[in-house]
Every structure is written in C-alpha cells, then in structure tokens.
Chains A and B, each alone.
Chain A
Amino acid sequence: MKKIALSIFATLLFHASENATAQSVNWRSLKSDQPHIADLHVGLDNGFIAGIGYGHKLKIKQPALINAEFSIPFGKNLTDDFKAKLGGGAEVARIENVSFSVGVHGIFRRYQSELVRLAGFGSEFVAVAGYYRPKWYVAGEFGFDKAIITHIKNSPIMKEYYPGGQDGWYIPTGGNFFYGIKSGLSIKNCELYVKMGKTISEDLKTTATLPVYCQVGANVKFNL
C-alpha cells in the first residue's frame, strides 16, 4: 500500500513540476514576454524566516508556472535549518474574475540543533480560490504539508542521555493542514503580496507551537 502511495506521490510530483505554478502570483498580471519571476519574502513559518524563489511561466494556454523556493529561519547558524521546495501550480478553472488553482511541491527540509539533525523529504498540496483583477487579487488557500520520510540523527548529547535511541529513516513523520488568505497588489512588473493563516496537525486536534503562518513578499517579473 505504501509502495502504491509513494508511486502516486512520485507521479503527482512529476506532473507538478511539469504543469504547475507558484502560488503567490496574480494570474491576471502574468505576461508572456516576462516569463521569469523572482521572489523575495519574509514571514513566520515555524520560525521567523526569509526566502527567495524563482518561477518560470510555461508556454502553454493556461496560466501555469514551475517554481523553486528556498527559505531559512533567522538565527546564529544560518545553514543548519532550511526548507527547499520544487514544484509549481496552475490555474485549473476560471469563471470571469474568479479563479481556481492548484499547486504541488516536493519539499526537502533540514533542521539541526544541539540535540538532533533532521533531514527529510515531503510534499505540499494546495488549492487556491480567489478573485483576480490585473492590478490586485484576494484569495483563500487550503493545503496539506506532509513530511513523508525523515532521517533522524541524534546528537552526541542525546546519545549520552539515551544510548538506545535509533538513528535512521523514519516513515512517515508528520503532516499539517494549513488554511488562510492572501492578497497581492501589482505595480508595473512588481507584485507585493501578503498571506497569513493557521496550521493544524493532520489529526485536526493538535497544533504547532506557533500555529500560524504569515508571509510578506515581492515578485518581480522580467525577461532575460
């Protein structure tokens, strides 16, 4: 069963990287002569983070992007924790100014502290519905972020405290639903956006220590 699930995931991920689109863009302001989109953002995402991203508008009929994102939380050690996402999304339906889109990303995450190093692969699925005009948009999003497989390496401190702890791959390790709103304002080839929402664990009962997310960012569309 797990093999089948993983195969489905792999297939979805593959199609995502082929057909999908970055989520914090205004579908109505995308232009075919500016296929590149650079993104810079800061926000709260299980820590205070800063990130960059790159998206590429696909040359197909429907608005669609592939994109990659990389974010790190602030702190003394800037490289010990990070999240990298690869995937994209596409507008799947449009009724006048109301748009429906989906996105899928593969995720690689790393976390390190004095006690442990975690490194794992996951996936994120998101559905977005919103009202889009050429200069602005407002939308709601709902998604699921699954940590599928994680390598746990306990630090020497943890091994001293509990020598019986097992280092290795753990499957699965977690999942969180998220839901929120986002809005953006387009100014020439730039787009300022903000999004915020809440997260809840996959059991729909437990919550993270910081069960909210928030992101403020800017996209710049350009041609090379």
Chain B
Amino acid sequence: MKLKTSFKKIALMLIIAGITFTGCKKYELGAPGNLVPKTVMEDPSLPSILVNNTWLHAEAYGNPADPMVVVLHGGPGNDYRPMLNCKELALDGYYVVFYDQRGSGLSQRHSKDVYNMKIMFDDLSGVIKYYRKSPSQKVFFIGLSWGAMLATGYINANPGDIHGAIIAEPGGFTFDDVKGYVSRARKFKLFDEGLNDALYTDQIITGKQNEHEILDYKRALSSAYAFSAGNTEGYTGPVPFWRFGAIVNSSLLEIGRKEGFNWTTNLTQYKTKVLFLYSELSTAYGREYAQKISSAYPNVQLEQINGSGHDMFFFGWNNVHPLALNYLNSLK
C-alpha cells in the first residue's frame, strides 16, 4: 500500500514538474509586451505627444494648415485603430488628428485615482492646442460612442470653440441615458455563447488593480462578446484594436455611476449644425433613440448608416465618408 502511495505521489509530481520545469517556455501574465502591446512609455518608436502631464499615442495626417478634425474613439478605454479610415479626410483637405485618450490604447497608463471627467476634457484641450497652428484654424470633432459623448461634453462646456461635430451613436449625454443604452447593448441571454465569452475567463485569469497588462488583456478577451452571434449592436465581425484600457474604463464608469453627469445643459447655445449618425444594424440604438439623444442639439442632421453596426467608421466607412465630407465641406 505504501509503495502504491509513493508511486502515485511521484507520478503526479512528475506530471506537474514536466509541465512546469522542462522544455516549455513560461511567461508572466503581467510582463510588458507578452499579451498586450507596449505603450508609448515602453516603446519610444511609437508616435507620441506630451499633453496635460500625460504621454498620449497620437499622430496627425494632412496639411497642418487645413481645417483640423480631431478623431475621438470609443470606450472609455478603446483606441483609434478602428477609426483610421478617417485618414482619408486628409486627402479631402483636412488636417486629421488621432490620439488614444489617457490610459487608452497605446497611451500612458495611470492608476485609477488619476481619472476624472475634467482631466479627459483637459487632455482634449491640450491635444487641440498642440496641433492647432493658428486661432483662425477651424476645429471639428468626429466622435464615436464614448468619443461622441466626450465631444459633446466638450462642446457643452466650450460651445464657441468647436466649428462642427460628427456625433456617432453616443451612449447618451446624461448618465441615466447611458445606463439605459448599456443595458440594451450588453443584453445577455443566459444560453448565448456571448455570455461565456464575456464571463468564463474570470475564473482563469485575474489581476490586481495595479496589474494593468493583465486587466487590459482580460478586457480584450471579453470583447469577444461584442461580435458574438445575436449581439445587439450590429457587429458583423471583430474590430481591430491595440489595447483596451481596463482601468480607465472601470474608473470613468464608476465616476459616472457615483457622480452622474449631464452634458446637455449648455448645448442650446451651440447653433452650428451637428451631423448625428446611427447605424442600421444596431438594435440597441435605432432611429428612435438617435432622435431622442440628438434632440439635445438645436441643429441636427440625422443620418442612418446602412449596412453597418455600431463601429460604423470601420464597417460602414464607405457610407460614412460622403456624408462626413459633405458636412465638413459645408462648414469649412
């Protein structure tokens, strides 16, 4: 009996030791670059700017003297990679500026306590200031989802500073609207694969609040639910990304939940026409909600982007581009 016991012990230990200490190379989840790309802090070859005491992954296309278009990505925490089609506007006579927002994409990470809504607006101010060549240069926004919310919050606070905006499916301009939208967009069904895609990794990979790489990787993996079958935002496939910033995402959502916000209080002063886009395939958004949300702006051109879901600058660019160009040219 003792011999049998010893044999079992040795066999089991050998199996574990075999996996652990032999030829298989082992990696650390949290080591920079193993699972998520290095940010501008670890990879100096990335284009970056220092704004408002943070390093942002940023680049600009076109003639710097042309009217400026600042592209604002979704999230919070996503990056501008799926919006790179907007580069085409540089060929149309615009100076197109992309940046990954604070803590997002390939921009510098920060601890949770750094984030607040004001700092996100201040960063945007800093980016405009960094790239703007003269006070007479017009500034336009293109914002998707959270980026459209950020654009609207900025316009609400500075209605005289922005010369036009393309607003695409913002979750809402008040936290209550956002909450309602998110509940429709993340509408899980108990028997759907999407539910597993989003949740099942939590028992395999966990990270502490300061283990950014792990949390970012987890958030990237959970994004699979977004394009799983039956998703309500109309995704027909995956959308490219560099890095999902888990901390900035959770931090800003928590602030929204605790403090709320209302970015419509001053919008009536913004008389410039806004191009408001919603997608044909997103059942979570739809024309009715687009009408409701866009009505916060006094002057709106509401357009449906056919053949696309929420990420219309990636999936529906061919339909977005002519609308965007006509709109921008009308205000140029």
Indicate if B298 sits at the interface (CB-CB under 8 A).
no
Q: Give Cα distance in the complex from A148 to B20, angstroms.
A: 10
B21 neighbours in A (Cβ, 8 Å): 3
Interface residues of A (CB under 8 A from B): 2-3, 6-7, 9-11, 13-14, 18, 45-48, 73-77, 81, 83, 109, 111, 113-116, 118, 120-122, 145, 147, 149-150, 152, 154, 157-158, 160-162, 164-166, 168-171, 173-176, 201-203, 205-206, 208-210
B190 neighbours in A (Cβ, 8 Å): 48, 74
Q: Give Cα distance in the complex from A175 to B195, angstroms.
A: 21
19 CB-based A-B contacts, threshold 8 Å: A3-B17, A14-B9, A14-B12, A48-B190, A109-B204, A111-B200, A121-B19, A149-B19, A152-B27, A152-B35, A166-B27, A168-B27, A169-B19, A170-B26, A170-B27, A170-B29, A201-B206, A201-B208, A208-B202
Please provide the 10 A-B residue pairs with the shortest distance between their CB atoms, ordered closest to farther. Answer: A174-B206, A75-B193, A208-B202, A113-B224, A203-B208, A73-B196, A76-B193, A74-B191, A48-B190, A113-B197
B197 neighbours in A (Cβ, 8 Å): 113-114
Q: Give Cα distance in the complex from A89 to B25, angstroms.
A: 34
Indicate if B47 sits at the interface (CB-CB under 8 A).
no
Q: Is there an interface contact between A170 and B28, defined as CB atoms closer than 8 Å?
A: yes
Indicate if B13 sits at the interface (CB-CB under 8 A).
yes
Q: Determine how close the nearest CB of chain A comes to the CB of B104; give it in whole angstroms.
A: 15
Q: Is there an interface contact between A147 and B192, defined as CB atoms closer than 8 Å?
A: no
Q: Which of B20, B24, B36, B199 has the most CB of A within 10 A?
A: B199
Known A-B contacts A10-B16, A75-B193, A157-B238; the reply to A113 vs B221 at CB < 8 A is yes
User: Which of B20, B194, B201 is within 8 Å of A171, CB to CB?
Assistant: B20
B198 neighbours in A (Cβ, 8 Å): 209
Interface residues of B (CB under 8 A from A): 5, 8-9, 12-13, 16-17, 19-21, 24-29, 33-37, 190-209, 215, 220-224, 227-229, 238, 240-242
User: Which of A147, A149, A160 is within 8 Å of B20, CB to CB?
Assistant: A149
B24 neighbours in A (Cβ, 8 Å): 168-169
- Closest residue of chain B to A175, judged by CB? B206
Q: Is there an interface contact between B224 and A48, defined as CB atoms closer than 8 Å?
A: no
Q: Determine how close the nearest CB of chain B comes to the CB of A86; give it in whole angstroms.
A: 11
Q: Give Cα distance in the complex from A34 to B35, angstroms.
A: 50
- Closest residue of chain A to B21, judged by CB? A3
User: Which of B29, B204, B215 is within 8 Å of A111, CB to CB?
Assistant: B204
A122 neighbours in B (Cβ, 8 Å): 204
- Closest residue of chain A to B250, judged by CB? A206
Q: Give Cα distance in the complex from A169 to B19, angstroms.
A: 9
A176 neighbours in B (Cβ, 8 Å): 202-203, 206
Q: Determine how close the nearest CB of chain B comes to the CB of A107; give it in whole angstroms.
A: 9
Known A-B contacts A47-B200, A145-B203, A171-B26; the reply to A115 vs B9 at CB < 8 A is no
Q: Is there an interface contact between A169 and B27, defined as CB atoms closer than 8 Å?
A: yes
User: Which of B196, B199, B204, B238 is within 8 Å of A120, CB to CB?
Assistant: B204
A6 neighbours in B (Cβ, 8 Å): 13, 16-17, 20
Q: Give Cα distance in the complex from A108 to B95, angstroms.
A: 53
Q: Is there an interface contact between B206 and A73, defined as CB atoms closer than 8 Å?
A: no
Q: Give Cα distance in the complex from A166 to B24, angstroms.
A: 13
Q: Give Cα distance in the complex from A174 to B208, angstroms.
A: 10
Q: Give Cα distance in the complex from A3 to B204, angstroms.
A: 21
A7 neighbours in B (Cβ, 8 Å): 13
B28 neighbours in A (Cβ, 8 Å): 170-171
B199 neighbours in A (Cβ, 8 Å): 46-47, 208-210
B193 neighbours in A (Cβ, 8 Å): 75-77
User: Which of B9, B36, B191, B202 is within 8 Å of A209, CB to CB?
Assistant: B202
B242 neighbours in A (Cβ, 8 Å): 161-162
Q: Determine how close the nearest CB of chain B comes to the CB of A17; give it in whole angstroms.
A: 8
Q: Is there an interface contact between B19 and A47, defined as CB atoms closer than 8 Å?
A: no
Q: Determine how close the nearest CB of chain A comes to the CB of B206; give it in whole angstroms.
A: 3
